[in-house]
Amino acid sequence: MLALYPAPDAERAVPRVVSAPLSLGEAALRPWLLGQRLPLSVDFGADMAWSKRAASLHHVEVHLLLFVTKPFLSLVEPVRRAAAGFERGKLILFYWLVTDDSLGSPMFSRYGVTSMLDCPKLLMLDQRLAVDNRQRPFRAEITEENVAAFLRDNRLAEAGSVGEAQKDEL
Protein backbone atom coordinates (compact mmCIF):
# COMPACT_ATOMS: atom_id res chain seq x y z
CA MET A 1 0.00 0.00 0.00
CA LEU A 2 1.30 3.46 -0.95
CA ALA A 3 1.05 6.09 1.76
CA LEU A 4 0.86 9.70 0.70
CA TYR A 5 2.39 12.21 3.04
CA PRO A 6 1.99 15.97 2.82
CA ALA A 7 5.00 17.94 1.66
CA PRO A 8 7.23 19.31 4.42
CA ASP A 9 6.70 22.96 5.32
CA ALA A 10 9.94 23.94 3.60
CA GLU A 11 8.62 22.68 0.26
CA ARG A 12 5.23 24.38 0.41
CA ALA A 13 5.03 27.56 -1.62
CA VAL A 14 2.96 30.13 0.20
CA PRO A 15 2.06 33.18 -1.89
CA ARG A 16 2.81 36.49 -0.24
CA VAL A 17 0.13 39.15 -0.44
CA VAL A 18 1.42 42.68 0.03
CA SER A 19 -0.74 45.75 0.23
CA ALA A 20 0.67 49.20 -0.36
CA PRO A 21 -0.14 52.02 2.03
CA LEU A 22 -2.91 54.18 0.56
CA SER A 23 -1.02 57.38 1.37
CA LEU A 24 1.62 56.67 -1.30
CA GLY A 25 1.31 58.68 -4.49
CA GLU A 26 1.99 57.32 -7.95
CA ALA A 27 5.61 58.54 -7.94
CA ALA A 28 6.32 56.70 -4.68
CA LEU A 29 4.25 53.66 -5.59
CA ARG A 30 6.29 52.77 -8.70
CA PRO A 31 9.62 52.13 -6.87
CA TRP A 32 7.70 50.43 -4.06
CA LEU A 33 6.15 47.97 -6.52
CA LEU A 34 9.50 47.33 -8.20
CA GLY A 35 11.05 46.67 -4.79
CA GLN A 36 8.41 44.11 -3.89
CA ARG A 37 9.27 42.11 -7.01
CA LEU A 38 12.95 41.76 -6.08
CA PRO A 39 14.38 38.98 -3.97
CA LEU A 40 16.02 40.06 -0.72
CA SER A 41 19.27 38.24 -1.45
CA VAL A 42 20.83 37.14 -4.71
CA ASP A 43 23.56 34.57 -5.30
CA PHE A 44 25.27 36.63 -7.98
CA GLY A 45 27.47 33.81 -9.23
CA ALA A 46 24.65 31.28 -9.63
CA ASP A 47 22.72 33.19 -12.29
CA MET A 48 24.80 34.94 -14.94
CA ALA A 49 21.88 37.17 -15.95
CA TRP A 50 22.09 39.15 -12.69
CA SER A 51 25.05 41.15 -13.96
CA LYS A 52 22.74 42.73 -16.56
CA ARG A 53 19.75 42.98 -14.21
CA ALA A 54 21.76 44.73 -11.49
CA ALA A 55 22.52 47.61 -13.84
CA SER A 56 18.80 48.43 -14.03
CA LEU A 57 18.21 48.53 -10.26
CA HIS A 58 18.28 52.33 -10.09
CA HIS A 59 15.38 52.38 -7.61
CA VAL A 60 17.31 50.35 -5.00
CA GLU A 61 19.15 52.78 -2.73
CA VAL A 62 21.58 50.41 -1.02
CA HIS A 63 23.39 47.37 -2.37
CA LEU A 64 25.10 45.12 0.14
CA LEU A 65 27.95 43.16 -1.45
CA LEU A 66 29.17 40.10 0.44
CA PHE A 67 32.22 38.21 -0.79
CA VAL A 68 32.67 34.83 0.91
CA THR A 69 34.72 31.69 0.47
CA LYS A 70 33.33 28.22 1.05
CA PRO A 71 34.26 28.07 4.79
CA PHE A 72 32.42 31.38 5.40
CA LEU A 73 29.29 30.59 3.38
CA SER A 74 27.29 30.45 6.63
CA LEU A 75 27.74 34.24 6.99
CA VAL A 76 25.20 34.85 4.23
CA GLU A 77 22.26 33.97 6.48
CA PRO A 78 22.98 36.47 9.32
CA VAL A 79 23.46 39.26 6.76
CA ARG A 80 20.22 38.25 5.04
CA ARG A 81 18.33 38.29 8.36
CA ALA A 82 19.74 41.74 9.15
CA ALA A 83 18.70 43.03 5.72
CA ALA A 84 15.19 41.62 6.20
CA GLY A 85 14.66 44.06 9.05
CA PHE A 86 14.82 47.03 6.69
CA GLU A 87 12.41 48.40 4.13
CA ARG A 88 12.00 45.99 1.26
CA GLY A 89 13.02 47.42 -2.10
CA LYS A 90 15.45 49.94 -0.60
CA LEU A 91 18.10 47.29 0.05
CA ILE A 92 19.32 44.24 -1.84
CA LEU A 93 22.03 41.77 -0.85
CA PHE A 94 24.33 40.34 -3.52
CA TYR A 95 26.73 37.63 -2.43
CA TRP A 96 29.52 35.88 -4.29
CA LEU A 97 31.23 32.60 -3.55
CA VAL A 98 34.85 33.47 -4.28
CA THR A 99 36.98 30.68 -5.76
CA ASP A 100 40.48 30.57 -7.23
CA ASP A 101 38.96 30.56 -10.72
CA SER A 102 36.84 33.68 -10.15
CA LEU A 103 39.59 35.87 -8.68
CA GLY A 104 40.82 37.08 -12.07
CA SER A 105 37.63 39.07 -12.61
CA PRO A 106 38.07 42.86 -12.71
CA MET A 107 34.91 43.20 -10.61
CA PHE A 108 36.58 41.54 -7.62
CA SER A 109 39.64 43.80 -7.81
CA ARG A 110 37.34 46.84 -8.08
CA TYR A 111 35.93 46.01 -4.64
CA GLY A 112 39.29 45.09 -3.11
CA VAL A 113 39.04 41.30 -3.28
CA THR A 114 42.34 40.23 -4.82
CA SER A 115 42.89 36.94 -2.98
CA MET A 116 41.00 34.35 -1.00
CA LEU A 117 42.45 35.92 2.15
CA ASP A 118 40.40 39.08 1.56
CA CYS A 119 37.20 37.14 2.33
CA PRO A 120 34.79 37.47 4.01
CA LYS A 121 34.23 41.06 2.97
CA LEU A 122 31.03 43.09 3.27
CA LEU A 123 30.59 46.40 1.44
CA MET A 124 27.69 48.79 1.19
CA LEU A 125 27.17 50.68 -2.06
CA ASP A 126 25.09 53.73 -1.22
CA GLN A 127 23.35 54.95 -4.38
CA ARG A 128 22.01 57.97 -2.49
CA LEU A 129 25.46 59.57 -2.46
CA ALA A 130 26.41 61.82 -5.37
CA VAL A 131 30.14 61.14 -5.13
CA ASP A 132 32.44 58.91 -7.15
CA ASN A 133 33.20 56.54 -4.27
CA ARG A 134 29.94 55.19 -2.88
CA GLN A 135 31.56 52.24 -1.14
CA ARG A 136 31.31 51.98 2.63
CA PRO A 137 33.24 49.02 4.01
CA PHE A 138 31.96 47.06 6.98
CA ARG A 139 34.82 46.60 9.43
CA ALA A 140 33.25 44.80 12.41
CA GLU A 141 32.58 41.11 12.94
CA ILE A 142 29.82 39.95 10.58
CA THR A 143 26.84 39.20 12.83
CA GLU A 144 23.17 40.02 12.41
CA GLU A 145 23.25 42.69 15.14
CA ASN A 146 26.42 44.38 13.84
CA VAL A 147 25.15 44.52 10.25
CA ALA A 148 21.77 45.91 11.37
CA ALA A 149 23.55 48.59 13.44
CA PHE A 150 25.77 49.43 10.45
CA LEU A 151 22.72 49.92 8.22
CA ARG A 152 20.95 52.04 10.87
CA ASP A 153 24.07 54.20 11.24
CA ASN A 154 23.92 54.83 7.49
CA ARG A 155 20.37 56.20 7.72
CA LEU A 156 18.52 53.29 6.15
CA ALA A 157 14.81 53.11 7.10
CA GLU A 158 13.86 50.05 9.11
CA ALA A 159 10.77 47.98 8.37
CA GLY A 160 7.70 49.33 10.08
CA SER A 161 8.59 52.95 9.40
CA VAL A 162 6.22 55.37 7.66
CA GLY A 163 5.34 54.17 4.16
CA GLU A 164 6.25 50.54 4.81
CA ALA A 165 4.11 47.81 3.32
CA GLN A 166 1.75 45.69 5.33
CA LYS A 167 2.69 42.09 4.67
CA ASP A 168 -0.01 39.48 5.00
CA GLU A 169 0.39 35.75 4.57
CA LEU A 170 -2.31 33.57 3.04
pLDDT at 166: 44
**83-106 burial: b if 16+ Cβ within 10 Å, else e:** bebbbbbbbbbbbbbbeeeeeeee
Kind and range of the H or E element at 31? helix 26-37
Q: Is the dihedral of CA 41, 118, 116, 48 positive or negative?
A: positive
pLDDT at 75: 92
Q: In what order do the strands lie in the sheet with 91-97?
A: 41-43, 91-97, 62-68, 121-126, 135-137
Amino acid letter for position 140: A
Distance between CA 147 and CA 156 in Å, rounded?
12
pLDDT at 76: 92
Read off the pTM.
Answer: 0.73
Residues 42-63 have a mean pLDDT of 75
pLDDT at 114: 86
Mean pLDDT of the chain: 76
pLDDT at 167: 45
Which numeric CATH code is attached to 39-158? 3.40.30.10
The yes-or-no verdict on residue 146 having pLDDT over 90 is yes
